[in-house]
Chain A
């Protein structure tokens, strides 16, 4: 009776997973492909429980430095109804897996299963810092898992985390999937509505008046700030992704004028947030020369205001400041060299005001509200593109199933081979011992001689610590012996 109740509770829990997913307003209930995901594991492969597997994997990592891919897949499969300590264990195992030979690249099936199990356990917050640390954990999301994650965050009203995922997809510079483009645009625009008009926090000052700790290093590597993977500030990332998506032309061309308006304004706002003002103003000039003849609108009022605000709030650097020594420089210090000086900032302000006056003269500024237009447009697009995504993902689940089977067979072959090798070695050792006993009578002379051919370690006499009295007695004894000999 009790067993029956327990099983039914477990079944109910299994059925209720992803129930919150079905109530999404952006994506339909079938997008999660719950049936195929539950049947993704081939039936001939065993289901090992979590505790045993994790301990075995940690042993393998410490002994051999690596554990096989199929072990990781099994572990990720068994991540259901797991407690908090075990989650920290899995994160540790993920770190070690990435630092082994099989961790480059981490397979898509593993990443997919990790993300889905975290969503089921309702702790997707822990995923975001892991996704950011690409060298350490290597969770490079493919398009399907990114869509799932972003929709989950949006449904829970966690726009910050959803935007973080969108930034990571932007950093890969891959706009070939229109569905993820739409999804990330949605997240970024929502985040813009929250953050766009708030002054970003000031930088922490580089303090040089505190204690100094000297450490000897063979070579001092220069700290490098590439403007892509090393960006730490959120509004820079937001701006860059908006610029990038605006260029890609995500909003479709029902009316070509609104399409151009939308893309231009997104690009302009993005560059303003990203603090690349000269680039934005160069683009504006080209747009004005193209639009002056037709008297078409170029930008919207709201975007111009946000650009102006960020121009005023942008931090500046002092060009006459002394450069720090190489040993004291950090990545932040190198990043601040890209800021504008005060003269350049004033020049940008003047140029900006000139161009806005030009725009007003021929009616290039429109009062349209873009954000709601974008959000509605993007939602309609996503509904049309869902079918393709689902069918392609189903195929991928089937492919992963067959790959898993092949991996399992190879692993079992290797293990049986290793076992046979060990048995053979044991047998050989036994045979060698027996041979020695049998042939001992014939090799008697060699065995006796071998005793004298053994290398002898030279014994070192320990130096005795003697007192003066004992020394005198010894010397007297020696002299007496010498006299006797004579």
Chain B
């Protein structure tokens, strides 16, 4: 017998795909599922599954899963679709450890205030805006900013997944 030795690129992920896990379960409703990539955050993040659909495409198991999301301690309202189910990074949590795991201690609160964020517009956009405002004889002070385009003081907490290329704040959040 000869041994199979593989060589190639190493994968970043340690785990199984969501579809493989849920295909072996008769009742995936209510099970808790995490990705190992969420361990880089100090707060807890996981998904509680509600509904799974499978399919086969050219011999590969594919599909989508739906569930409630808890990301860095905050539970998002409503049931959302999980798009990253195909990544081989998922782990099932056994039922006896669910209670301990799902206790939320800390919640991450992003602070998207204009003081902490670089609110410059792209340079061409600035030039064009200034020109347009002059033509229409609109008075303005200073240079146009992101504050005119994004409501920083909104209390809509679902808008937490935005990515800002912040030079001032190094703790910017990514999706």
Q: Which residue from B8, B15, B94, B95 sits with its C-beta under 8 Å from A217?
A: B8
Report how far A138 CA is from B25 CA in the complex, Å.
10
Q: Which residue of A lies closest to B59 (CB)?
A: A99
A172:B92 contact, CB within 8 angstroms = no
In the complex, B81 has a CB within 8 A of chain A: no
Name the CB-closest residue of A to B6. Answer: A327
* CA A101 to CA B11, docked complex, whole Å: 29
Within 8 A of A (CB), among B87-143: 88, 91-92, 94-96
B-contacting residues, A93-120, CB 8 Å? 99-101, 103-105
Indicate if the CB atoms of A219 and B5 lie closer than 8 Å.
Answer: no
Say yes or no: B24 contacts A135, CB within 8 Å.
yes
Contact A210:B91 (CB < 8 A) given known A104-B53, A174-B26 = no
- The residue on A at minimum CB distance from B56 is A99
Does B174 make an interface contact (CB < 8 A)?
Answer: no
Instruction: Decide: A104 and B92 in contact? CB cutoff 8 A.
Output: no
Q: Taking the complex as formed, is A320 at the interface, i.e. its CB lies under 8 A from any CB of chain B?
A: no
B5 touches A210 (CB 8 A): no
The minimal Cβ–Cβ distance linking A210 to chain B, given in whole angstroms, is 6
Are A215 and B6 closer than 8 Å at their CB atoms? yes
CB pair B7 A221 closer than 8 Å = no
Q: How far is the CA of A198 from the CA of B12 in the complex (A)?
A: 42
A173 to B94, CA, bound (A): 8
Partner of A138, one of B10, B23, B55: B23
Residues of A within 8 Å of B11, CB to CB, are 219-222
Interface status of B13 (Cβ within 8 A of chain A): yes
Find A216's partner among B2, B7, B21 (CB 8 Å cutoff).
B7
A210 with B1: CB separation less than 8 A: yes
Contact residues in A for B80 (Cβ distance below 8 Å): none
Minimum CB–CB distance from B30 to chain A (whole Å) comes to: 11
Residues of B within 8 A of A224 (CB): 14-16, 88
Residues of B within 8 A of A138 (CB): 23
User: B1, B10, B13, B27: which contacts A172 (Cβ < 8 A)?
Assistant: B27
Contact of A337 with B by CB under 8 A: no
Interface string of B1-41 (1 = CB under 8 A from A): 11111111111011110001101111100000000000000
- Assess the B8–A220 pair: CB atoms within 8 A: yes
Are B27 and A247 in contact (CB-based, < 8 A)? no
The reply to whether A247 and B96 form a contact with Cβ atoms under 8 Å apart is yes
**Option from A174, A216, A217, A228 in Cβ contact (under 8 Å) with B92:** A228
Find residues 173-219 in chain A having any chain B CB closer than 8 Å to their own CB.
173-174, 207-208, 210-219
With A135-B20, A228-B92 as given contacts, are A101 and B55 in contact (CB-CB < 8 Å)? yes
Give the residues in chain B near A100, CB-CB below 8 Å.
Answer: 56
* Chain B interface residue count, Cβ-Cβ cutoff 8 angstroms: 35
Cβ contact within 8 Å between A174 and B27: yes
Could you tell me the distance in whole angstroms from the C-beta of A350 to the nearest C-beta in chain B? 28
Q: Say yes or no for A11: interface residue by CB 8 A criterion.
A: no
Check: A229 CB closer than 8 A to any chain B CB.
yes
B56–A101 CB distance below 8 A? yes
Chain A residues with CB below 8 A from B96, complex form:
247
Q: Min CB distance, A25 to chain B, in Å?
A: 29
Residue numbers in B under 8 Å from A328 (CB-CB): 3, 5-6
B14 touches A222 (CB 8 A): yes
* A449 on interface, CB distance cutoff 8 Å: no
Find chain B residues with CB under 8 A from A174 CB: 26-27
Residue of B nearest to A212 (CB): B5
Question: Are A215 and B4 also in contact (CB < 8 A) when A134-B23, A224-B16 are?
Answer: yes
User: Complex Cα distance A213/B1, Å?
Assistant: 10
Check A216/B8 contact, CB under 8 A, given A210-B1, A226-B16, A228-B94. yes
A357 → chain B, closest Cβ, in Å? Answer: 30
CA separation between A138 and B16, bound complex, in Å? 18
- Cβ-defined contact, B20 with A173, below 8 A: no
The answer to whether B6 touches A220, judged by C-beta atoms less than 8 angstroms apart, is yes
CA distance A216 to B94 in the complex (A): 36
User: Does residue A439 face the partner (Cβ distance < 8 Å to B)?
Assistant: no
* B-chain residues with CB within 8 Å of residue A211 when the two chains form the complex: 2-3
Contacting residues, chain B, for A288 (C-beta < 8 A) = none
User: Is residue A482 within 8 Å, beta carbon to beta carbon, of the partner chain?
Assistant: no
A210 to B4, CA, bound (A): 11
**Does A326 touch B at the CB level, under 8 Å?**
yes
CB <8 Å contact, A219 and B24: no
Query: Shortest distance in angstroms between B122's beta carbon and chain A's nearest beta carbon?
Result: 36
The answer to whether A105 and B5 touch (CB under 8 A), given A135-B20, A224-B16, is: no
A213:B20 contact, CB within 8 angstroms: no
> CA of A213 to CA of B96 in the docked complex: distance in angstroms?
43
Nearest CB on B from A164, distance (A): 15
- Whole-angstrom distance between the alpha carbons of A323 and B56 in the complex? 36
Give me 27 A-to-B residue pairs in the complex whose CB atoms sit less than 8 angstroms apart, sorted by A's number: A103-B56, A104-B63, A134-B23, A135-B20, A173-B95, A208-B3, A210-B1, A210-B2, A210-B3, A211-B3, A212-B3, A215-B4, A219-B9, A220-B6, A221-B13, A221-B88, A222-B11, A222-B13, A222-B14, A224-B14, A224-B88, A226-B16, A226-B92, A326-B10, A327-B5, A327-B6, A328-B6
User: Interface on A for B, CB 8 Å cutoff?
Assistant: 99-101, 103-105, 134-135, 138, 140, 142, 171-174, 207-208, 210-222, 224, 226, 228-229, 247, 325-328
